[in-house]
Structure 1
């Protein structure tokens, strides 16, 4: 059940959440300043790579060191499994581990713990009627995805043993560090969202991933599309080349045929070779309707090659000086 807290009870409850963390500890506090008392609690979990410490602070976009002191930031960066994020609009404060949490008015700030009147509500994950823990987790994840900026990410590297059932901690690898050049107001700045990384831990065989900005990912996608278009164009070029080769083979075979064989310049079907009458019966009667000597046809009368609009009744043979006169004035007897 949820419980109202203030004074020493609130301070003690926050201490418990920090020192009792076994899997993760999420600290949400716009302002952070650690004293020896806070560090004593954090030191209890500092060297445990199995505990993921997430620090979410905020305010002061132009100089976030006004929100968290440099020495405290460096202290948190020493943890083996840590995520440090910045949320410019942050005003909420909460302290949550895998079993319990507190929503409070108190920052992780030594002066607040010693001098201010602060309130808080504690809640548990296990309570059957408790929804605060789940609701807080949903809101926290939404914040990480939609607007929080990753500043520093470090993850542990493990050596897996016994078919992956046990693991030994080897070291930690820094996946992201913007703490020295964090300029969210810069025109060239690209926000890295927490779930763009989404790595809990690494094994000794893992390659440290290269984190990319959203613009880099867009460029990568554009390059991928360009490559797909290039491959598509090459395939089309290859298809056209094969078609050209087929036409050449067909043309050659036509040229090797009996010299008495010709082709209808409109349909491509075989007919007797006769440049004065280069149309099949049906095609000739179609042509008679208009009697257009220069109407563009499709096939060379001599080779049968598909030439599309390069031959006509007047010039039935491709690349030839042969020319028919107005044949309807002096009609020839068709060979067919």
Structure 2
């Protein structure tokens, strides 16, 4: 389900979108003025060679130092769009539609709001938003390094996706059916398992592999691919995610 965000949560969600991106980031903001910490996060993603497409309003004038910063990023591409008013930030996992520009004053002073959505839990909203972002980019003109943006004709497509958005990992298959005795024992004692974040003992449920406290923390950003550190089934230290909450050995043993 999509979640409402107030101003502080919009800023936090934008940072999380940058930090969690592994395939692509789209930044749609009419006005741009980068805070120092935003530059640091964007630089860290560029170091990982994650493509960053930024589109801003063609009749605005970002600070020269911000334009210089973007043009120094190896994996970033700038675009200008006439009459742009939409604000949206999205990666391959989730995104936000918001009133907030990527503008330092807006992040610190304005009364903003937004809506957070996930590709896994809100697929229709995610796909429709991504398609609209690509329409905006197709109607935009690229601003290449040290060059002026070229005018776009009606039939000219200037934007081409540089990397396909990956598909969400498939859910775990259903484990083998248990015998009657095992079902009776589990119905009385419950099947012990472990929270994939803190390791606390919980009931086994690969669809809900968090304890209540850790689930509340995870649900703030709802990133199904966020890396955790405990196997839900055996409790050993192992890199897991909500989509794949068990270690490789348990997956081979308990899942077909």
In the superposition, the TM-score normalised over structure 1's length comes to 0.45
2:126 to 125, 133, 142: 133
Query: Are the structure 2 counterparts of residues 55 and 140 from structure 1 closer, same or farther at C-alpha, using a change threshold of 3 Å?
Result: same
Equivalent in the alignment of 2:141: 149
User: How much does 1:39 deviate?
Assistant: 1.4
Helix, strand or coil for the counterpart of 1:131?
A: helix
CA contact (8 A) 1:2 1:130 kept: no
- 1:113 deviation in Å? 0.4
Are residue 19 (structure 1) and residue 19 (structure 2) matched? yes
Which residue of structure 1 aligns with residue 175 of structure 2?
none
Specify every segment of 5 or more residues in structure 1 that has no aligned partner in the other structure, as ranges: 153-176, 202-336
Could you tell me whether the CA contact under 8 Å between 2:143 and 2:150 is conserved in 1?
Answer: no
Question: Would the alpha carbon gap of residues 131 and 70 (structure 1) be closer, same or farther in structure 2, given more than 3 Å must change?
Answer: same
Q: What is the CA–CA distance in structure 2 between the aligned matches of 1:126 and 1:114, rounded to whole Å?
A: 31
Cα distance change on mapping 1:198 and 1:133 into 2, 3 Å: closer
Asked if structure 1 preserves the Cα contact closer than 8 Å seen for 2:95 and 2:126, the reply is: yes
65, 72, 76: which one aligns with 1:71:
65
For the residues of structure 1 that align with 2:32 and 2:65, how far apart are their CA atoms?
A: 11
Whichever of the two has the greater Rg, that structure is: 1
1:193 match:
157
Q: Residue 53 of structure 2 corresponds to which residue in structure 1?
A: 54
How far apart are the structure 1 equivalents of 2:161 and 2:89? 21
Query: Take 1:42 and 1:83, find their aligned partners in 2: how far apart are those partners?
Result: 13
Structure ranking higher on relative contact order (CA contacts 8 Å, 6+ apart):
2
- Three-state SS of the structure 2 residue aligned to 1:42 is helix
CA distance in 2, matches of 1:82, 1:39: 12
Query: Aligned to 2:73, what secondary structure does the other structure show?
Result: coil
Q: RMSD across aligned C-alpha pairs, in angstroms?
A: 2.2
Structure 2, unaligned runs of 5 or more:
165-256
For 1:61-100, list aligned pairs within 5 A: 64=60, 66=61, 68-100=62-94
Count of matched residue pairs: 163
- Aligned twin of 2:32: 32
Measured against aligned partners, the alpha-carbon deviations of 1:54-87 in whole angstroms (never above 9, x if no partner) come to 0011141xxx4x2x22211111112222221110
Say if 1:30 and 1:90, in contact at 8 Å, map to a contact too. Answer: yes
Structure 1 contact 84–151 (Cα < 8 Å) conserved = yes
Per-residue deviation at 1:19? Answer: 1.5
* SS of match in other structure, 1:44: helix
Question: Hey, what does 1:113 align to over in structure 2?
Answer: 107
Q: Is contact 2:30–2:101 with CA below 8 Å preserved after alignment?
A: yes
**CA offsets per residue over residues 267-299 of structure 1, 9 Å max, x none?**
xxxxxxxxxxxxxxxxxxxxxxxxxxxxxxxxx
SS across alignment from 1:111: helix
Q: Which residue of structure 2 aligns with residue 260 of structure 1?
A: none
**Which residue, 182, 187, 194 being the options, matches 2:149?**
182
Tell me the SS of whatever aligns to 1:91: coil
On the 8 A contact 2:142/2:150 being kept in 1, the answer is: no
TM-score (norm 2): 0.58
